[in-house]
Amino acid sequence: MVSDVNFRHRGNRVKNIVAIVRPERLHAVKEALFRVGVTGMTLTRASGHGGEREVVEHYRGTAILHEFHEKVRIEMAVSEPFVEPTIQAILSTAHTGEVGDGKIFVMPLERVIRIRSKEEDVEALTPVTVEDVQARALAHAGAGGDE
């Protein structure tokens, strides 16, 4: 595929990271991602079934079998330098040690395009470096916090 070769040749490696986590761990995961500079993400409520046992609930005398458990799917596109910090941030905050903690999937992205500016690949991601995010966070904190 020509575009894939050109994409890799330019050195603009971008990965799509998908994490499936427990809903009660979402806040901690989000804060950890922000700390490592990952601020752009998409959240989706999901139901899933892996190694967890089914739950039988009794409601008005009827047994209800819950095979699927509530989860949160977090998707983010990150440049190569952010891949390992992103994974470590998720692992350190989503882990409980129990069955059902979730999964992390890392996949290459062939192409990324920002619709507003038509920037492509790494340039289409905001921000590009951890330093940019930290500088913005410090400036924001110095300016009086929440807006």
Residue ranges per structural domain of the chain: 2-142
Q: Which of 57, 78, 74, 58 is nearest to 66 (CA)?
A: 57
Could you give the residue ranges of the DSSP H alpha helices within 12-127?
Answer: 26-35, 83-94
Residue 23: band (very low, low, confident or very high) from pLDDT cuts 50, 70, 90: very high
* Strands laid side by side in the 102-108 sheet: 42-48, 69-79, 14-21, 102-108
Residue pLDDT, tens place only, 45-93: 998 877 777 667 777 888 777 778 899 999 999 999 999 999 999 999 9
Fold of 2-142: Alpha-Beta Plaits (3.30.70)
pLDDT at 147 over 50: no
Residue pLDDT, tens place only, 114-128: 898 998 988 888 664
The phi, psi pair for 76, rounded to 5°, reads -150, 140
Q: To the nearest 10°, the Cα dihedral for 136, 137, 141, 147?
A: 80
Cβ–Cβ < 8 Å for 79, 131:
no
Q: Mean of the pLDDT values across residues 11-38?
A: 93
**Rounded Cα–Cα distance for residues 72 and 62 (Å):** 28
